[in-house]
Amino acid sequence: MYEELKTDFPEHIPIYIARLQALESEKERNLKAIVETADLALKKINMSELLEFYGLKSDTRKDATKIKSRMDKNKTYLLEALCKKGLALCEMYQTEENIEKSTTILEDIKNIFNDVAKFVEPSDLKSAPAFISASPPGFVSLEEIMKAANSVSKMALAHDIAVDDDFHLEKVDLPSGSIQKTIKDIAHQAFWDLLKEEFEEDPPKYDRALTLLEEIKEWLLSLLLPHQTRSQQEIKDKLDTELIRQQISAGTLDLHSYSQYIISLMAKLCAPGRDDKIRELTAMKDIVALYKGIFETLELMRIDMANFTIRMSRPHIAACSVEYERSKFEDYLKITPDGLRNTRAWLHRNRKEILSSSASASNYVQIIPTVLVDAFMELLCWDGSHPWPETVAMDEQRFAEMRQKIKGIQILSSILLVSLNRDIGLQQASPEFRNSVKEHAAVVLGDTRSSEELETVLPNVGAQVVEDINNGLNKQGAPELSEENKKLIVAEILALRDPGNRVMEIIHSRLMDFLKQVISNEVARPTQIPMGLSLFKAEIAGVAGRFARLVSHNRSVFVQHYANLIREEV
């Protein structure tokens, strides 16, 4: 049908736009067809005519209304065709291996952004986000995140701040070579290129410069505390939009003067770690590069300010987070059918054995704490065979990290146990020597945790341990390990990869018993580090502290749901 319509009505632009939309919606998108169809549409649109029309201050023609309607439609068609072509080219660029072709594609993408920017005004909020913004996308403050996010994401943010003392915001760096980074880089560069072109016109244009200064003003104001009213007023006066417009009209706008004021203010407001960047800005002469640097530095300063706000607000957020999370989770349950399905299955699995000895419903209240302890312990041994509970969704990654740390402690302590707890000729294996063997083995082991990975790495660990033991023997003037002892030590270490290894099981059992005891205590009391694991006291204490904090916070938020689910009939 498309081919027939194209033949019968070759100048009818909506045919090509409809075809583009159809191609975009296909499961397997034909990128080449999208580009070709977009080009057909673009050939039917007179871009010069559009530019001339939108450059008019007023149109006094009799049919001005009809002309405007036609021009607006063509502008919409033009932007849609450019956008779809640009996105298709970005994907093609991502997979193109030929350097010459990829360079050509990238140049086409840049041209598309430049064409789009000719029709999208900085103040056109409806169009600008889809193509090129008035200024490069910046950092979103904590307050903006909280306002913009939905209930679940707001709950997650409050939760992260409450349970993680190290939580902070960072600048997101998109993966190198990704479509998102390519589009972002091109969009940013297109903006700065167009800004430079405006400055080089005769007379210079300052539309984007005005928007830049307006945004810089808002960003500077966001770096001030509420009580700094005098500084706020000074910024508003110095960067007054109406005053800048008057200077543009009079041809007296001095962007270097404004940049000097902005940089001097940034120097007063920035953290000491940003001083070097401020000095770099002070030395810059090129006006476009200077304002680009100002934007990049302000983005980092806003992150610094947001993290300062988080640190100052953490005690208050932590105090209020239980009620806040509980309230937001109730909102989630209202719109989610059976939103506790996975949590129910998780708790019911862990009450089965407990109820087998005492199945009376009257015992449910007494067993609730025990079921919860067993349920949380299951999360430390999670094998992925069941869906993750909804009530612990925000901590899934944290539990995964704890499992990795526990596994690392288990492997390293087992290595030391099988290699040093034998008669190897050492007069005395001092704590310093044991710690040295531990550190060297940890370096060789790295992040290796799975049986398949251990198959490859453990021989190297065994060789390192043997070398460390021989070094220790040499220092004591004792003979080095015999070949038989070397082989025994390496063999014992290699055996740790086997499922069901007795040493590994014993260490794991001791660790689990210790962590279970930590979260079972109703009041804080000292808990002895498991026997044979004193060398890993700091690591175990770190895991235990984090585990206890997560469990305590989670129980406080969801205790009523847990009680109701545990009391439910099977």
Q: Are residues 548 and 406 in the same domain?
A: yes
Q: Contact 57/73 with Cβ under 8 angstroms?
A: no
Is the pLDDT at 94 greater than 60, yes or no? yes
- The reported pLDDT for the residue numbered 352 is 78
Distances (CA, A) of 302 to 74, 161, 309, 317: 40, 18, 10, 20
Single out the residue of 154, 165, 462 nearest to residue 318, CA to CA: 165
Percentage of the chain with pLDDT > 70? 87
Which band of pLDDT confidence, cut at 50, 70 and 90, is reported for residue 109? confident
Other C-beta atoms lying within 10 Å of the C-beta of residue 341: 13
Q: In the structure, what pLDDT confidence band is assigned to residue 145 with cuts at 50, 70 and 90? A: very low
Cis check for the bond before 431: say yes or no (omega within 30 of 0).
no
Q: What is the pLDDT of residue 451?
A: 80
Q: Answer yes or no: is 27 within a domain.
A: yes
Q: Are residues 419 and 535 in the same domain?
A: yes
Q: What is the enclosing helix (H) or strand (E) of 100?
A: helix 99-117
pLDDT-derived band at 153 (thresholds 50, 70, 90) equals low
Q: Are 542 and 423 found together in one domain?
A: yes
Q: Are residues 10 and 125 in the same domain?
A: yes
Last residue of a domain, one of 129, 156, 190: 129
User: 543 and 407, same structural domain?
Assistant: yes
Domain co-membership, 216 together with 79: no
* Structural domain contains residue 226: yes
Which residue range is the domain that position 18 belongs to? 2-129
Residue 497 lies in a domain: yes
> Does residue 257 fall inside a structural domain?
yes
pLDDT at residue 428, rounded to an integer: 61
364 located within any domain: no
Q: What pLDDT sits at residue 522?
A: 63
Q: Find, among 295, 211, 206, the residue nearest to 259 by Cα.
A: 295
Nearest Cα to Cα of residue 93 among 75, 81, 109:
109
Residues 417 and 515 in one domain: yes
> Which helix (H) or strand (E) is 112 found in, with range?
helix 99-117
Q: Do 414 and 290 share a domain, yes or no?
A: no
Which range (332-336, 435-439, 546-550) has the least confidence? 332-336
Average pLDDT in the chain: 83
- The pLDDT of residue 146 is 41
- What are phi and psi for residue 536, nearest 5 degrees? -110, 25
Band (pLDDT 50/70/90 cuts) for residue 410 is very high
- The reported pLDDT for the residue numbered 132 is 41
- The residue that leads in pLDDT, 402 or 312, is 402
pLDDT at position 376 over 50: yes
1, 74, 18, 5: which is closest to 43 by C-alpha?
Answer: 74
pLDDT at residue 57, as a whole number? 60
Predicted pLDDT of residue 154: 64
Q: Of 314, 342, 369, which marks where a domain is finished?
A: 314
Same domain, yes or no: 310 and 245: yes
| pLDDT per residue as tens digits for the range 214-261 | 999 999 998 888 888 999 999 999 999 999 999 988 889 999 999 999
Rounded distance, CA 77 to CA 85, Å?
12
pLDDT above 70 for 443: yes
**Is residue 119 included in any domain, yes or no?**
yes
Residues 109 and 195 occupy one common structural domain: no
Cβ count near 50 (within 10 Å): 17
Judge residue 488's burial from the number of C-beta atoms within 10 Å of its C-beta, 0-12 exposed, 13-18 middle, 19 or more buried: middle
3-class secondary structure for 480-542? CCCHHHHHHHHHHHHHHHCCCCHHHHHHHHHHHHHHHHHHHCCCCCCCCCCCCCHHHHHHHHH
Q: What is the pLDDT of residue 432?
A: 86
Residue percentage of the chain with pLDDT more than 90: 35
For 487-500, the pLDDT digits (tens) are: 999 999 999 999 88
Q: How far is CA 244 from CA 202, 205, 210, in A?
A: 19, 13, 7
Q: Give a yes or no: residue 134 inside a domain.
A: no
Long-range contacts of 261-269 (CB under 8 A, 24+ apart): 262/216, 262/220, 262/294, 263/294, 265/220, 265/235, 266/220, 266/294, 266/297, 266/298, 266/301, 269/220, 269/223, 269/224, 269/301
Q: Please check whether residues 532 and 400 belong to one and the same domain.
A: yes
- SS3 assignment for 275-339: HHHHHHHHHCCCHHHHHHHHHHHHHHHHHHHHHHHHHHHHHHHHHHHHHHHHHHHHHHHHHCCCC
Query: What's the structural domain count of the chain?
Result: 3
Is the Cβ–Cβ distance between 158 and 149 less than 8 Å?
no
Same domain, 188 and 101: no
Residue 387 domain flag: no
Structure tokens at 226: 């509420």
Does residue 62 register a pLDDT over 80? no
CA distances from 508 to 120, 121, 459, 562 (A): 62, 63, 22, 28
Write down which residue in 293, 314, 335 finishes a domain.
314
Residue 185 to residues 132, 175, 494, Cα–Cα distance (Å): 11, 12, 49
